[in-house]
């Protein structure tokens, strides 16, 4: 599949100026690089009804921070459906601030509340710290539904890339222990399997933004023990994918993770699940949050919001 001309122009600019790739940077440098990219190419922040910083108690480990958005259309006392969102960034970079615009857009367009989770990052907090935080956030918001004015029977999980991985793993954990029940999964090019030889890994593994060396850079910091066969790191390896909520899967055509996503979706369907897959031809990994540069990103956010409306606003 050929790159979209706009994607080609962005990559040409990045590589022409000799910008270092993630695997050539320190962790702090990679975090600043991603922040600059997102702040440069994300849309202007739309107004929402309210934004609240939420500290979630984490026992002896202090607090897990999250940010709670209520859509512009919401009355102050309205009980709303909820999306719990986990940001991308290879479990090592990214944060709630960088995803502020995307979460505002999803809240306004879906008419649902959004909680964006500031889970702990590797290498300071390697696997499974992020997984523990992701599940804690789900438990806390459903246990405190009255405080947040949300409906605990209308909750979805979502995320992009590493955040999509956390959404899948959290949904599987909730399934295995009998709750909380989830209405939907919103997955944007999620990482479903650490080690893969599917064709897209090689076809788009060099010069398409998420290089194969960068994948190794992220994986080795998230999983310093090398336990890539743990299903909580690679949910494609879970013994069963049955019983997951219906999901919307958004993929980028020129992404090394695309074939892994498609294999995951096919297995979900084979085991009785429902998957609505939308592919954005010519796009690269990471496009979803770059709506100032890619019109496809705005289209993808709109599709994501529509899927949430359909899943969460129904009786």
What DSSP string describes 140-176? Answer: HHHHTHHHHTEEEEEEEEEEETHHHHHHHHHHHHHHH
Three-class SS state of 207 = coil
Q: Is the pLDDT of residue 18 over 70?
A: no
Average pLDDT of the residues in 298-304:
98
Q: What are phi and psi of 291, to 5 degrees?
A: -70, -15
Q: Give yes or no for residue 19 having a pLDDT over 90.
A: no
- The encoded tokens of residue 5 equal 């001309």
Instruction: Return the ∠ at Cα 191 (arms to 190 and 197), rounded to 5°.
Output: 130
Q: At 275, is the pLDDT very low, low, confident or very high (cuts 50, 70, 90)?
A: very high
Distance CA 20, CA 7 (A): 18
Percent of all residues in the chain with a pLDDT value above 70, rounded to a whole number: 99
Q: Is 285 a catalytic residue?
A: yes
Take residue 123 and report the two structure tokens written for it: 């290498």
pLDDT per residue over 156-204, tens digit each?
Answer: 999 999 999 999 999 999 999 999 999 999 999 999 999 999 999 999 9
Tens of pLDDT, residue by residue over 224-249, are 998 899 999 999 999 999 999 999 99
**For the residues 221-226, what does the mean pLDDT come to?**
94
142 vs 13: which has the higher pLDDT: 142
**For residue 281, what pLDDT is reported?**
97
pTM passes above 0.85: yes
User: What was the pLDDT predicted at 20?
Assistant: 74
Q: What is the pLDDT of residues 132-145, one digit of tens each?
A: 999 999 999 999 99
The CATH number assigned to the domain with range 5-312 reads: 3.40.50.1820
What is residue 55's predicted lDDT score, i.e. its pLDDT? 97
- What's the mean pLDDT in 194-222? 95
pLDDT of residue 115: 98
What is the mean pLDDT of the segment spanning 50-77?
95
Q: Please tell me the predicted confidence (pLDDT) of residue 13.
A: 82
Separation of alpha carbons 271 and 239, rounded Å = 11
Mean pLDDT confidence for 280-290: 97
pLDDT value, residue 17: 60
CA atoms within 13 A on the CB side of 306: 10
* Neighbouring C-beta atoms of residue 205, cutoff 10 Å: 15
Assess whether pLDDT exceeds 70 at residue 286.
yes
**Is residue 255 annotated as a catalytic residue, yes or no?**
yes
Average pLDDT, the chain: 96
Lowest mean pLDDT across 54-63, 119-128, 171-180: 54-63
Residue 61's pLDDT band (boundaries 50, 70, 90)? Answer: confident
What is the pLDDT confidence band of residue 314, given thresholds at 50, 70 and 90? confident
The answer to whether 4 is a known catalytic residue is no
Position 22 scores a pLDDT of 82
CA dihedral 195→198→202→204, nearest 10 degrees, is -100
Please identify which of the residues 160, 255, 259, 260 carries the catalytic annotation: 255
């Amino acid at each position: 599949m050929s790159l979209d001309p706009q994607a080609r122009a962005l990559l040409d600019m990045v590589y022409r100026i000799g910008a270092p790739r993630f695997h050539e940077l320190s962790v702090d440098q990679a975090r600043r690089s991603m922040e600059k990219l997102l702040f440069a190419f994300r849309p202007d922040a739309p107004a929402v009804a309210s934004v609240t910083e939420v500290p979630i108690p984490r026992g002896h480990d202090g607090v897990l921070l999250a940010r709670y958005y209520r859509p512009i259309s919401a009355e102050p006392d309205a009980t709303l459906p909820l999306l719990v969102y986990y940001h991308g960034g290879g479990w090592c970079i990214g944060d709630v601030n960088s995803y502020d615009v995307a979460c505002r857009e999803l809240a306004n367009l879906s008419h649902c509340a959004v909680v964006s989770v500031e889970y702990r990052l590797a290498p300071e907090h390697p696997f499974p710290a992020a997984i523990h935080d992701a599940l804690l956030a789900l438990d806390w918001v459903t246990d405190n539904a009255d405080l947040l004015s949300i409906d605990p029977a209308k909750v979805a999980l979502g995320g992009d890339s590493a955040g999509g991985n956390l959404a899948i793993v959290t949904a599987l954990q909730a399934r295995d222990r009998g709750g909380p029940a989830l209405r939907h999964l919103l997955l944007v090019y999620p990482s479903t399997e650490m080690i893969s030889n599917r064709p897209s890994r090689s076809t788009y593994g060099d010069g398409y933004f998420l290089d194969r060396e960068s994948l190794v850079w992220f994986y080795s910091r998230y999983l310093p023990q090398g336990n890539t066969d743990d299903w909580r790191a690679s949910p494609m390896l879970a013994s069963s994918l049955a019983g997951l909520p219906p999901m919307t899967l958004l993929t980028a055509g020129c992404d090394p993770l695309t074939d892994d996503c498609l294999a995951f979706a096919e297995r979900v369907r084979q085991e009785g699940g429902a998957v609505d897959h939308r592919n954005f031809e010519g796009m690269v990994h990471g496009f979803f949050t770059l709506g100032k540069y890619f019109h496809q990103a705005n289209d993808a956010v709109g599709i994501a919001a529509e899927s949430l409306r359909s899943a969460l606003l129904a009786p």
